[in-house]
Structure 1
C-alpha cells in the first residue's frame, strides 16, 4: 500500500510539474536586460545610476548591472552564458578583450540581443556600440599634455587592459594628438585591472625611468594610483599628470593643481541611453539604432576651473 501511495504521489507531482512547464509565463514576468562590465571599479557606479534611471522609465523590463568576479575573458564569457541560460533578452557588455572574444560574443549574439559599450567589438555581430570615441578621448588627453608642457616632455602611460580596444584607441589618439610636438609617449604599462599592480607600475617608473616627467592614466583608476604613488614619493607637482575619468581623487588633484586636467566620459549616459535603446530593439523598434552601429557619447576635458560645476552635475545625476 505504501509503495502504491508513493507511486501515485510521484505520478501526480510529475504531472503537475509538466503542466507548470507547459503553462505560459505569468503576466507579472518581465524580460530582463543586463549591463555587463569588464571588471570591478568605482568607474561603473555612474553606470549603475544610469541603469537605475532607465529602470524608472522602463517598468515593463527588469534591468540589471553585472560585475564579473575577475577581469578575465573566460569569466566574463561564463557570466554572459549564465545570463543567456537564465533567459535575458539583451546584454550590453564592455568586452575584456574584443579581439580574442569574437567567437564568444557571436555565440551570445546568436542567442540574445548583444550591444557593446566602453570597449567595442566591431568584428562581432553586436547590434550597436554605445560609448565614447576612444580615439577622440586620447586626442583630448594630448591637448592637456600640450597645454601643460609647451616645452616638451617624456610621458609614461598606464592602463588596465593593454589588449582592449578602448585602451589601444586612447593610446593611438594620444600619440596622434602629439604629432609635431616635442612630447612623446615612451611606453604604456598594463595592470590587468589590479589596482595594487597599477600603483606598483608607477613606483617602478619613478625608480627605473627618472627621465619621465609626464604620466597618463588611461583607465579611471590609473590616475588615482599615479596620484598616490607621486604623493608617497614626494613628487606631486613635479611630474605632469594627465587623467581619465572622474574618480574623486582625480577631481581633487585637478582642483588642487597636481593633476593638469582629466578627460571625462559619461558612463551614466552609456547605461541610461543604452538600456533604453536595447529595450526598444527587443520590442521590435530598430529605428533608433544608428546606421553605422555607433552611438557616440562625447567626452570632455575637466580642468581646475570646471571641477566644482562638474561635481555638482555628478551629484545631481546620482539623485543626491
Structure 2
C-alpha cells in the first residue's frame, strides 16, 4: 500500500477512535426524558474490545434518538456464562420494557430467556442466538454465511490441496458454532484440503496467540489459519507475524479493530470478514422499543457481512463500514 493511502486510512482510524472516546463518556440517562423513557437492558457477551464498543455506541445513539434509558451490562470474559445468566435474572427482576441479549452459550441461556417471557419482558437476540422460542427477533450477521466466505477466500489463497487450521472463540456460542459449521461445510467440497486443528481461544488475545504458536510448531507445513472473531484474529495475526510467517501462512480474520487493520496493511492478514456492530446495537434498541410497544417486528434482521482486503478497503461503501463514526 502506498504512503498516501496508508496515511488516509490512519487519519480515518484516528477520527473514529476520537469520536468513539467522546461517546464513551456520555450517559444515555443525560440524553432522555426520564418520565417517558423506555427502560431497555442490553446484556452483551463482554464489556470490552472494539467490536463491543461499537455495538454499545450504536445502541447509545439509538437510545438518544428513541428516548431510551439504556442499561448496558456484560461479564468481563465472554466465556463467563454463569455471570451472564445472573445478569439476565437481575434484569428480569427489574422488569425493563425489553432485554437485548447476546448469548454466550446457545443452550445455557435458554431457560432464563424463557423466564423473561413468563414475566412479559420481550427478549431480542443480537449477535448470537439463544435456544428459546420466546425470542422476538435476531439482529446480526448470517454467521453460517460468514464462515463460508472465510473458507472460500482461504481456498482461493492456498489452493485446493492445502492444510488449514481454525482458531474459534467460545465453544457453545451460537455464532461461533455457525461460523465453524459454515467453514467446514464449504471446505468439505474439496477432498484435498485438510483441517489439521481446531482450537478455542475464549475470546482472549493472549490465549489465541499461544494457540497459534502451538499450531505453527505442530504443523510446520500449514498453509493458512482462519480466526473467527476479533479477539482470536488479533492473537492469530500477532503470533504469525512474531514467528516470521507473515504472508507465508495465510490468515483470514474477523472484524476490524485497529490492530487487524494494521496487520492487513502489512500483509500478515490477507482478508477480513467484517460485520456491522454499530448497526447491530442501533437496530437492536430500535426494535426493542417497537417490541415493547406491541408492534410487529421481523423474525430476523440480517445486518450483513463483507469481505475486506487491500484492494477494496478504501472503496467509499467499505469506508463507511470500517469507520462508521466518520461522517
- Category of TM-score, reference length = shorter chain: 0.7 to 0.9
Given candidates 124, 127, 130, the residue that maps to 2:139 is 130
Matched residue, 1:173: 182
Matched residue, 2:213: 203
Whose radius of gyration is greater, 1 or 2?
1
Cα distance, 1:27–1:188 mapped onto 2, change above 3 Å: closer
Deviations 1:104-138 (A, max 9, x none): 22112323110111111144421111111111101
State the Cα distance separating 1:315 from its structure 2 match. Answer: 7.0
Does the 8 A contact of 1:154 with 1:186 survive in 2?
yes
Gaps of 5+ in 1: 1-25
Deviations 1:21-79 (A, max 9, x none): xxxxx9726321122111233211211221122123202x2123322233311100111
State the Cα distance separating 1:221 from its structure 2 match. Answer: 1.3
After TM superposition, the structure 1 = structure 2 runs for residues 114-129 of structure 1, keeping only pairs within 5 Å, are 114-129=123-138
Gaps of 5+ in 2: 1-32
Is 1:80 paired with 2:79? no
How many residues of Structure 1 are paired with residues of Structure 2 in the alignment? 290
Given candidates 31, 42, 47, the residue that maps to 1:35 is 42
Matched residue, 1:256: 266
Q: Structure 1 length normalisation: TM-score?
A: 0.84
After TM superposition, the structure 1 = structure 2 runs for residues 17-96 of structure 1, keeping only pairs within 5 Å, are 28=35, 30-39=37-46, 40-59=48-67, 61-71=68-78, 72-96=80-104
Residues in 1 aligned to 2:59 and 2:323: alpha-carbon distance in whole angstroms = 15
Residues in 1 aligned to 2:141 and 2:321: alpha-carbon distance in whole angstroms = 18
Given candidates 301, 309, 313, the residue that maps to 1:307 is 313
Superposed structure 1 runs of 4+ greater than 4 Å apart: none
Moved more, 197-206 or 132-141: 197-206
Matched residue, 1:12: none
Q: Structure 2 length normalisation: TM-score?
A: 0.82
